[in-house]
């Protein structure tokens, strides 16, 4: 797999919560950090997402916002 995204994080699916249209996938990275992704229910099914499956979180963004109190 080759992608143009620079941030490709390997992890394992910790939990998948399926809704009416979308699914929320929690990916556990080495070291214990979690990344959460909202994808379509159809995509989650096509990818065969389930707890323990090895996956990649691919992040490509032109902006990263920072907020403070």
Other CB atoms within a 10 A radius of the CB of residue 16 amount to 18
- Whether residue 13 contacts residue 69, with contact meaning beta carbons closer than 8 Å, is answered with no
pLDDT string in tens for the chain (69-residue length):
788 888 899 999 999 999 999 999 999 999 999 999 999 999 999 999 999 999 999 988 777 788 999
Alpha-carbon distance 16 to 66, whole Å?
Answer: 27
Asked whether residue 1 is assigned to any structural domain, the reply reads no
Asked whether residue 37 is assigned to any structural domain, the reply reads yes
- CATH (domain of 13): 2.40.50.100
Asked whether residue 68 is assigned to any structural domain, the reply reads no
DSSP assignment of 58-69, as one string?
A: EE--S-------
- Whether residue 57 contacts residue 9, with contact meaning beta carbons closer than 8 Å, is answered with yes
- Please tell me the pTM assigned to this model: 0.84
Asked whether residue 2 is assigned to any structural domain, the reply reads no
Count the domains in the chain: 1
Half-sphere exposure of 23 (CA within 13 A, CB side): 20
């Amino acid at each position: 797999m080759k992608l143009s995204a620079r941030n490709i994080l390997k992890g394992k699916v910790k939990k998948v919560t399926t809704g009416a249209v979308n699914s929320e996938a929690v990916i556990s990275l080495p070291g214990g950090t979690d990344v959460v992704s909202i994808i379509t229910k159809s995509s989650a099914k096509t990818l065969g997402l389930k707890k323990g499956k090895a996956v990649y979180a691919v992040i490509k963004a032109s902006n990263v916002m920072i907020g403070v109190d």
